[in-house]
Amino acid sequence: MVYHLAKQNVGQVLVCAPSNVAVDQLAEKIEKTGLRVVRLAAKSRESSTSSVDHLALHNLVRNLDTPDKAELRKLFLLKEEIGDLTAADAKRFRQLRSKAEREILMAADVICTTCVGAGDPRLANLRFRQLLIDESTQAMEAECFIPIVLGVKQLVLVGDHCQLGPVVMCKKAAKAGLTQSLFERLVLLGIRPIRLQVQYRMHPVLSEFPSNMFYEGTLQNGVNEIDR
């Protein structure tokens, strides 16, 4: 889906999900289509490792090896060696790093981040006409609005409102209605979602119950008893 959105040539595609694990998996799979993918992580997570470290913005900036980025590399090394930079060097470092981040983000076909991560100041000057939110039924409605306000004209919500909804720890917030996802609100307003009818996970005997209980008996089996 993301590949075909990107090939419409109407600008960069923003891909979000409520959790970092989901975003990492998305970035990993989308990269395999041949698109240029950048994974934007929160600064607080830059020290964490993941399967998509090679796509992470902070690592891409750190590993730039072009002649015009020699000064930035030098400041990176200096910062690592002595810990703190002088005020002048620190200011220059921030300028060069911001410029490099902007160039990398602008060159990407797809930018992947969490719904909350879409509020990162580094994306403030970018506009995304196309947005896909995966696991959108597990995201709070307010979370989904953060990427939506970045100029979106085409919104794709992927999820299943018959499964797990947003987890809201605060009982007061849950009672106020924050457990209803944007996806679910749209369904209740009469917008009919496109449902994938075939399941490949469960033994047909197990899938019979959820099919009748949640999917009006429409769930079909892509596996048989021998497969499971």
Task: Check: CB of residue 130 under 8 Å from CB of residue 14.
Answer: yes
pLDDT value at position 178?
Answer: 93
Of 128 and 84, the one with more pLDDT: 128
Residue 103, pLDDT > 90, answer yes
Question: Are residues 136 and 159 in contact, defined by beta-carbon separation less than 8 angstroms?
Answer: yes
* Predicted confidence (pLDDT) per residue in 32-55, tens digit: 999 999 999 998 888 888 899 999
The owner of tokens 């979106």 is 152
% residues pLDDT > 90 (the chain): 76
The angle formed by the CA atoms of residues 155, 157 and 163, to the nearest 5 degrees, is 170
pLDDT value of residue 186 = 95
Q: What is the pLDDT of residues 51-67, one digit of tens each?
A: 999 999 999 998 887 77
The answer to whether 136 and 158 have CB atoms below 8 angstroms apart is yes
Q: Is the pLDDT of residue 82 over 80?
A: no
Average pLDDT over residues 115-133: 95
